[in-house]
Amino acid sequence: MNLSFKAMLMALLVLGFALGSVGCEKEGPAEKAGQTIDQTVEKTGDKVEDVTDAATR
């Protein structure tokens, strides 16, 4: 497996877990769920950048 495939797979897994955890919330405003998704997407992007940087080194 090449490194970019691994990075994309990791990003999809993180996003999947985030969406799953948001779906399990019983109560709470939609804004909070949106913030959780936004934070997860941002963290995933950071991790993909880290992996890409490591691959280019």
pLDDT at 25: 54
45: which residues sit within 8 A by CB, 6+ positions away? Answer: 11
Number of domains in the chain: 1
pTM of the model: 0.45
Q: In whole angstroms, what is the distance from residue 54 CA to residue 56 CA? A: 5
Residue ranges making up the domain that contains 15:
3-56
Which pLDDT tens digit goes with each residue over 9-45?
888 888 877 777 665 655 667 778 888 888 888 888 8
Q: In whole angstroms, what is the distance from residue 8 CA to residue 45 CA? A: 10
